[in-house]
Structure 1
Amino acid sequence: MSKRIDVRNLNVYYGDFLAVEDVTMTIEPCSVTALIGPSGCGKSTFLRTLNRMHEVIPGARVTGAALMDGQNLYGPGVDPVQVRRQIGMVFQRPNPFPTMSIADNVLAGVKLNNRRLGREESQDLVERSLRGANLWNEVKDRLDRPGSSLSGGQQQRLCIARAIAVKPDVVLMDEPCSALDPISTLAIEDLIYELKNDYTIVIVTHNMQQAARVSDKTGFFNIAGTGKPGKLIEYAATDKIFSNPANEQTERYVSGKFG
């Protein structure tokens, strides 16, 4: 299922404002890519371009190309809804549907895609997805309880189960642990490490220790000042970024000298 993404000279605009400038990078399949950098430097904006989620904001547009296994996600006739089926998204704060049961939360994306499932197939998909999110053993006896009854860390894993239930090729995560305690954060990090066996994963994080722990490659974004576009300053193997970066801006950021 895992796919490679090639980003070439990607620019992101909101109306006339250039928010992210000229990003070129290759995201390898079955790997974790972390995006780090100060607030407002375009990390999350760039992440959302990979499944065309930024387009929900009026006036947002992209130039350049993002290719998944050679197909331009922004090519003529490409349906953004289909792109979002292939490239799932997990947001900063857990967002289970509060009136839905745990099981129905897992199935929500599948049903939104107008896929009809029989009872047995639904049960199998719920179990498989919750096992994939390392949540099954904790909730298997209360699948009819509301998703909102779970703890914060469990809710985030439920959202990951919902994302992988539609069988995407890529999973994007926008600061998935920022609202979680250290124990829940560790559970998500362990899960990310396991998921990369089957998915291409891109994660935005402000936690540099987390980036160092979970990712294979890291991209450092920075911004020259208010009103300037965010830029990808350096992209390399994670151990190189954190031990021997090529760019002085990267070195200053990862060593804590930034700002």
Structure 2
Amino acid sequence: MSKRIDAIDLNVYYGNFLAVEGVNINIEPKTVTAFIGPSGCGKTTFLRTINRMHEVLPGARAEGKLLLDGDDIYGPGVDPVTVRTMVGMVFQRPNPFPTMSIRDNVLAGIKLNGKSMSKSDADDVVERSLKGANLWNEVKDRLDRPGSGLSGGQQQRLCIARTIAVKPDVILMDEPCSALDPISTLAVEDLINELKDEYTVVIVTHNMQQAARVSDKTAFFNIAGTGKPGKLIEYAPTQEIFNNPKEKSTEDYVSGRFG
């Protein structure tokens, strides 16, 4: 598990609108990469292109190349559903299926992919995934209760367990802590640090301190103005981005002068 991500001259469109322009980036396996930048600069849009999730909107498309270990996920004949089994996503707000038990929430992705398994195999997947999300000890005695009955931080970790149950290579996280309290945020950040032992992790965050805490590399996106496309301005080791950025706009953003 875990794969290298390479974007080559990637442009992202919504209809005729160019939302993100000319992204070139190389993300190494088993690392955490943070995307930062002001609202509307294209970081979430670009994140969603990594598993073709942006295509759920009518008229959305990408031009250029996006490679997972050298294979273009936008190549002819590539099934977006297959891409999403390799590249999982955790969203901004925890979204467990409210009518499902904790156990069934973990197994939901596997069942959606049409896979059948014995009860013992399913039990193994549930335990492995919940342990991987640092949630097992908190819920192991109530697996048949609704996932919606958990706290916000537990729900987010349940969603992470659901993501890793299908054994992806890459995990994308779109502001996974923005709806959480500080203690729950710390639990998820600790988990992110552990996940990179097995996965390539990419996270969008507006929290500069969080980017500094959890990421190995940071990509700063910016936008020249309303109606202009978002662009990748600078990409470097996180300490360099925060302490010695090459671009003035990066320095202005991380120091709080704008955004």
- 2:166 matched residue in structure 1: 166
Measured in 1, the distance between the counterparts of 2:235 and 2:136 equals 36
Q: Residue 117 of structure 1 aligns to a residue in which SS?
A: coil
Measured in 1, the distance between the counterparts of 2:100 and 2:179 equals 22
The letter for the 2-side match of 1:247 is E
- 1:210 matched residue in structure 2: 210
- 1:6 matched residue in structure 2: 6
The letter for the 1-side match of 2:203 is I
- 1:23 matched residue in structure 2: 23
**Structure 1 residue 257: Cα displacement:** 1.0
Q: Which runs of 5+ in 2 are unaligned?
A: none
Structure 2 residue 104 is the aligned partner of structure 1 residue 104: yes
- 2:58 matched residue in structure 1: 58
Q: Residue 77 of structure 1 aligns to a residue in which SS?
A: coil
Say how many residue pairs are matched: 259
Q: Residue 85 of structure 2 aligns to a residue in which SS?
A: helix
TM-score by length of 2: 0.99
1:113-156 CA-to-partner distances (Å, cap 9, x unmatched) read: 11101010011100000000000000000000000000000000
The letter for the 1-side match of 2:216 is D
- 2:228 matched residue in structure 1: 228
TM-score by length of 1: 0.99
Identity %: 77
Measured in 2, the distance between the counterparts of 1:15 and 1:111 equals 33
**Structure 1 residue 258: Cα displacement:** 1.7
Structure 2 residue 46 is the aligned partner of structure 1 residue 46: yes
Q: Which runs of 5+ in 1 are unaligned?
A: none
The letter for the 2-side match of 1:36 is I
Measured in 2, the distance between the counterparts of 1:245 and 1:253 equals 10
Measured in 1, the distance between the counterparts of 2:6 and 2:229 equals 21
Measured in 2, the distance between the counterparts of 1:47 and 1:2 equals 16
Structure 2 residue 80 is the aligned partner of structure 1 residue 86: no
Measured in 2, the distance between the counterparts of 1:258 and 1:174 equals 21
The letter for the 1-side match of 2:184 is S
**Structure 1 residue 9: Cα displacement:** 0.5
Q: Residue 82 of structure 2 aligns to a residue in which SS?
A: helix
- Counterparts of 1:134-213 in structure 2, within 5 Å, are 134-213=134-213
Measured in 1, the distance between the counterparts of 2:77 and 2:236 equals 33
Q: Residue 12 of structure 1 aligns to a residue in which SS?
A: strand
The letter for the 1-side match of 2:74 is Y
